[in-house]
Amino acid sequence: MKIVLLDAKTLANNPLTPIELLGELTSYQITDSAQVVTRCMDADIIITNKVVINAETLSALPKLKLICVAATGTNNIDLVAAKAHGVAVCNVAGYSTPAVVQHTFTLLGNLMGNMHRYLNDSSNGLWQKSDMFCRLDHSINEIAHKNFVIIGYGTLGQAVATVARAFGANVIIAERPNETSVRAGRVAFLDAVQSADIISIHCPLNEQTKDLFDARVFKQLKPSAVLLNTARGGIVNEQALVDALKQKVIAAAGFDVLTVEPAQNTNPLLNYTGDNLLLTPHNAWAAQESINRLIKCIAENITAFHHGGDINRIV
């Protein structure tokens, strides 16, 4: 099998041995859209994390049999065209759950304890100037007994709920927005966010969730609320979030995702200078262990496909 990996840089130089054992692997650190057809002309299998495979590209690759998405989301693949060309598409789900959960609570712990502010104070010599043994310049709050609202209760949402309960939080599962009926164990979306001390987003980005958190919804939140997003940037309207943070409509936010990535200099969140926002560069998923699991699962998908077995098939 001829296998082409288009964006190996996203795998952080972790060993590709499980994939290399399966065939002739050609690996590129980064591939732009103009290079895809040339690089994949003889490929039986393409591995891509974020490189777009569209209908035009698929029509130019008659030998292609399988696209392995080195991620969970498949927005970069034209699934309709892949099906029409008889190309199977598979992804990898759940490989990064421990890392994303850890990152979520790292953001939350820093925000609840104002850790970033205290670290800056210590680095800037304020502790040495204290008239007592500690400094208490910024509020410190516990996760215990807070209303912890989860938006999106799949594998990640459930894992976050488990840890939130371990901290002693009161976990509330929000129903999908605009639903007329509420499933057992869930709370209507607006009721949930109105009660929230902490909101953690783990749902997909789609027509129903795009700009789910806008100025109208922010006005429903408590001024003490903390918003976390390790899902997709477009779920939260970024200008509305900046306005809410500036005007103290909500207390703080921790984000690992933006609407356009890589980040653009014009993004409102990048230009916000307040100390109630923590922004990380979409690396919540990228623990070494996660990437190793991802590589292993890609190899398993390729092996299963080659032998006619079950793969994590999208089309």
Could you list the active site residues?
232, 261, 282
Using the structure block, give the residue that is written with the tokens 């204290």.
Answer: 130
Check if the beta carbon of residue 19 is closer than 8 Å to that of residue 3: yes
DSSP string computed for 86-129: T-EEE---STTHHHHHHHHHHHHHHHHTTHHHHHHHHHTTTTTT
Distance of CA 224 to the CA centre of its chain: 24
CA-CA-CA-CA torsion for 264, 268, 273, 279, nearest 10 degrees?
Answer: -60
* Distance (Å, whole) CA 300 – CA 303: 5
* Distance (Å, whole) CA 64 – CA 86: 9
Q: What are the backbone dihedrals phi and psi of residue 288, each rounded to the nearest 5 degrees, phi first? A: -55, -40
